[in-house]
A = this chain, B = another copy of it.
Amino acid sequence: MPAFDNPPDPLKRPPADELEAHVALARSPRVGSVTFRRLVSAYGGVARALEALPEHAARGGLRNYRPVDMARVREEISRAADIGATPLLLGDDNYPKCLMDLTDAPMFLWCQGDLTLFDRPAVGLVGARNASALGLRMATELAQDLGSEGHVTVSGLARGIDTAVHEASLTSGTIAVLAGGLDVIYPAANAGLAARIATGGLLLSEAPPGLQPIARHFPKRNRIIAGLSSAVVLVEAAERSGSLITARMALEQGRDVLAVPGHPLDARAAGCNRLIREGAGLIRSAEDIRDALALPVQRVDGFHEETGAWDQGPMPDSARQLVAGLLSTAPVAEDSLIRVLGLPTQSVLSALMDMELAGQIVRHPGGMVARAVA
């Protein structure tokens, strides 16, 4: 029987050694998404890229660079297997396409559930934990209406708006992105909902199983919600709320940001109203979301990852010195550095990678780099 035209198995697991090298490279100190992809491309695979890390860090000026401990890597993989989580590796076929152009694309994700949800259009619906009755009703209606039109919803499994969104679109398709490990459900009251999403929907996390989420994990989680969505809708959000961070991330990633307005005398509408004043689309119904999706997205200046291989020839110390001389703690665009320096692109990119691994520079969204704060 001819086997052609069979789609690739989305649940195909990578070979064990490849998975181990991938997780190890991703979990090694100062390896970010940009460097990860450049190293893999340069060395033709994760294993050889992992081996090359100390050499690059040394060229960046850090002699005692240590990749992640392999025991920790094996423990993460084993715990993931115990809870039935599948890895989605950056570069593999089943990795969601929409995440690939994020400045800081997750190097891998643990997931439980239905990977075919990635093939459908997705809308992020996020909002306040202490939502009002109107806000919860709005979240439910938007999620139901979007679901009935074939859209997948994406949210964060938090109390309030997020919970209403997942509940309302469980049967039509919903993705929950967690800040902690897949087995650390917060709030605990959502354990049942999480279990149902893990079978009927899709549960994702960048964190190792068992990780308790802390404050700094949430913005990172929020970038994945935004990345998976063509538009992010704030259903209800006070000022200085986490949902506003998701909105900012969505803008940085060139995603449409939309918001449901509320009365100014209701503090729970303050974040949404401010976003609308700043240009976010005003949403009254799922129809308004559809209209917004039909319009060309106003892309902010975005950083697009190079995909071609690059020459990894010997790196003159001078390139690093020149780069170091130009950098301050205020981020500048890699592109401008290359233009200003007048050196071959590959030399500058390679110098930056070495300096990143050595902890001398940090990367910012939009292809920006800055000197690390000492």
Instruction: Point out residues on A near B: beta carbons under 8 Å.
Output: 134, 137-138, 260-266, 269-270, 273-274, 276-277, 281-285, 288
Docked complex Cα distance between A196 and B334 (Å)? 68
- B-chain residues with CB within 8 Å of residue A260 when the two chains form the complex: 263-264
- B-chain residues with CB within 8 Å of residue A276 when the two chains form the complex: 261, 276, 282
Whether the Cβ atoms of A277 and B282 lie closer than 8 Å is: yes
- B-chain residues with CB within 8 Å of residue A138 when the two chains form the complex: 263-265
Whole-angstrom distance between the Cβ of A201 and the nearest chain B Cβ: 26
Whether the Cβ atoms of A263 and B264 lie closer than 8 Å is: no
- B-chain residues with CB within 8 Å of residue A263 when the two chains form the complex: 134, 138, 260-263, 266, 269
- B-chain residues with CB within 8 Å of residue A262 when the two chains form the complex: 261-263
Whether the Cβ atoms of B284 and A273 lie closer than 8 Å is: yes
Docked complex Cα distance between A307 and B134 (Å)? 54
Whether the Cβ atoms of A273 and B264 lie closer than 8 Å is: no
Q: Nearest CB to that of A278 among chain B residues?
A: B282
Picked from B134, B265, B284, B285, the residue with its CB within 8 Å of the CB of A137 is B265
Q: Can you spell out 24 A-B residue pairs with CB atoms less than 8 angstroms apart?
A: A134-B263, A134-B265, A134-B266, A137-B265, A138-B265, A261-B262, A261-B269, A261-B276, A261-B282, A262-B262, A262-B263, A263-B266, A263-B269, A264-B283, A264-B284, A264-B285, A270-B284, A273-B282, A273-B284, A274-B284, A276-B282, A277-B282, A277-B288, A282-B282
Whole-angstrom distance between the Cβ of A17 and the nearest chain B Cβ: 53
Docked complex Cα distance between A270 and B288 (Å)? 13
4 closest Cβ contacts across the A-B interface? A261-B261, A264-B284, A277-B282, A262-B263
Docked complex Cα distance between A276 and B275 (Å)? 12
- B-chain residues with CB within 8 Å of residue A137 when the two chains form the complex: 265
Whole-angstrom distance between the Cβ of A177 and the nearest chain B Cβ: 26
- B-chain residues with CB within 8 Å of residue A274 when the two chains form the complex: 284
Whole-angstrom distance between the Cβ of A374 and the nearest chain B Cβ: 40
- B-chain residues with CB within 8 Å of residue A270 when the two chains form the complex: 284
Docked complex Cα distance between A264 and B263 (Å)? 10
A265, A273, A288: most-surrounded residue (chain B CB, <10 A): A265
- B-chain residues with CB within 8 Å of residue A269 when the two chains form the complex: 261, 263
- B-chain residues with CB within 8 Å of residue A266 when the two chains form the complex: 134, 263
Docked complex Cα distance between A264 and B284 (Å)? 5
A263, A269, A270, A281: most-surrounded residue (chain B CB, <10 A): A263
Docked complex Cα distance between A48 and B94 (Å)? 87
Beyond A134-B265, A134-B266, A138-B265, list 4 extra A-B contacts (CB 8 Å): A263-B269, A273-B282, A274-B284, A276-B282
Q: Nearest CB to that of A268 among chain B residues?
A: B263
Docked complex Cα distance between A134 and B138 (Å)? 19
